[in-house]
Structure 1
Amino acid sequence: MMRTILISGASRGIGRAIAERMLADGHRLSLGLRDPKCLIGSSLDPAIAGSEQVFLHPYEAQDVNAAESWVSASLAHFSGFDSLIHCAGIFHRTPIRFNDNQQHEIDQLWQVNVMGPWMLSRAAWSQLECHAEARIIVLVSMSGKRSKGRLAGYTVSKFALMGLCQTMRNEGWEQGIRVTAICPGWVNTDMAARVKSLPKEAMTQPDDIASLSSNLLQLPNSCVPFELSMNCTHEI
């Protein structure tokens, strides 16, 4: 089944890997990016992949008007879409006892990690309801399931995102919208660049998450998992 998919955060990391895999699978892609020029010359460049397969549009998760603009442009380009993959997200090491200079980090984590997916899902919802087997995939994190260490700001935002996923699942169930929250531990991306306790090759790889996402889009409504959790280290 060929799908038309909106993917946020496709310029690098997990989002980039998912977009490349979805294109290889034959799906049509609308990619929301802070800077669409960053994909020029890549396999995701419409000049290379074909404008009938890939559409690029500016998207900034902190901009309250960005979601509506991107959704409207995607509808105009493809005449519809049936899937939404949220990959845009940020990471800050904001602790409980944050200093005054870190207040903005909490606001940014909330705006990008929670309100970004919320506003985009809201803008796309009426279109997703038009399809009997629509899909929403959200890159959450193991930090949306448990708290380790002192990452208060990031963990709070991811717990909230998991709650949003559960409620979207409830809201869309009767219309055939299936939601999956993907919850990895450390993934070998720029976000994990400062992690020294674990070799990069021992981390979960972006291409592996892309493969899981590809499989999710092929499953019938009757067996789509709500949550996929994976961890590259053993946790008790």
Structure 2
Amino acid sequence: MRVAMVSGAGRGLGRAIAEHLGQQGWALSLGVRDLSQVADMTSETTMATRFDAQCAPDAQAWVDATIARFGRVDALVNNAGILRFVDFEQGTDADCEQDLDDLWAVNVKAPFRLIRAALPHLKASGAGRVVNIASTDSKRYRGGTSVGYVMVKHALHAMTQAVRFAGWDEGVRGTAICPGAIDTDLLAGLPGVTPKADRLTPQTVAQMVGFVLSMPNQASIPEFIANTRLESGL
């Protein structure tokens, strides 16, 4: 049975991804800050480990726990992420510094640590997969959006390209999933976002992840974009 690690699986998009992969027959290792969120999901083929993206040791500990339980890792889905509004003119310097630190810690450094920890096992799989949940904001900058968020999503996209080179010969493939606005709590209360009726559902993006993970090594998909609005070049 193939084993997938999914971060931020307690709610929203992460839970939708976990549920979809479970339906496709994957064994699951769920990384969450609050284990009670996934108490109803644990089973013989689904485990949960406390994973705080801002706690550096949690990455290796989660990978080790997954190997101890299942003996392998075939896919890593870096879904956990945060959004903070950071630009050049709003807020105090101290607020911007803290928000930037949080954005880099959760959206970039945590996926980097997880990839480092999981990469030997993904190589051993012969068909290891890394899926990073990026954004259309990883492809361009659009006025009125968070400069800080765009910065870290570009970095995550670049990391996806790097892992493809790091494990290509051993069958590791990486994909940046780049969706437009998704109907989750991440967008709650933010001005100027895509109207709720026009957003992607978490289930739609989960199907994108499932599709990517179903492709053989010969069908590498570096990025998968699903925009919610008409834009030139996207």
Q: Shared fold (TM-score greater than 0.5)?
A: yes
In structure 2, the residue matched to 1:143 is 137
Match of 2:167 in 1: 172
What secondary structure does 1:222 align onto? Answer: coil
Taking the TM superposition and a 5 Å limit, the aligned residue runs for 1:104-143 are 104-143=98-137
Q: Which residue of 1 aligns with 2:38?
A: 39
- RMSD of aligned residue pairs (Cα, Å): 1.3
Cα contact 1:96–1:153 (8 A) shared by 2: no
Structure 2 residue 210 is the aligned partner of structure 1 residue 211: no
- Count of matched residue positions in the alignment of Structure 1 and Structure 2: 228
Separation in 1 of the partners of 2:154 and 2:207?
25
Q: Mapping of 1:20-99 within 5 angstroms? A: 20-40=19-39, 42=40, 44=41, 46=42, 50=43, 52-97=44-89, 98-99=91-92
Q: 2 CA distance for matches of 1:169 and 1:21? A: 24
TM-score, normalisation: structure 1: 0.93
Letter of the 1:194 counterpart: G
* Segment drifting more, 174-183 vs 215-224: 215-224
Identity of aligned residues (%): 36
Aligned residue for 1:138, secondary structure, equals strand
Q: CA deviation at 1:196?
A: 6.0
Contact 1:30 1:57 in 2 (8 A): yes
CA contact (8 A) 1:7 1:31 kept: yes
For 1:180 and 1:155, locate their aligned partners in 2 and report how far apart those are by CA, in whole Å: 18
The TM-score with structure 2 as length reference comes to 0.93
Corresponding position of 1:228: 224
Q: CA deviation at 1:102?
A: 2.7
Q: Which amino acid aligns with 2:230?
A: H
Amino acid aligned to 2:201: Q
One-letter amino acid of the counterpart of residue 170, structure 1: F
Q: Single out whichever of 92-101 and 147-156 deviates more from structure 2.
A: 92-101
What is the match of residue 157 of structure 1?
152
Please tell me whether the aligned partners of residues 11 and 37 of structure 2 are also in contact (alpha carbons under 8 angstroms).
no
Q: 1:139 and 1:107 mapped to 2: Cα distance?
A: 19
- 2: distance between equivalents of 1:177 and 1:225? 12
Q: Which deviates further from its counterpart, 110-119 or 222-231?
A: 222-231
What is the deviation of 1:224?
Answer: 2.6
Q: Unmatched 5+ residue regions in structure 1?
A: none
Asked if 2 retains the 8 angstrom alpha-carbon contact of 1:109 and 1:154, the reply is yes
Give the CA deviation at 1:218: 1.4
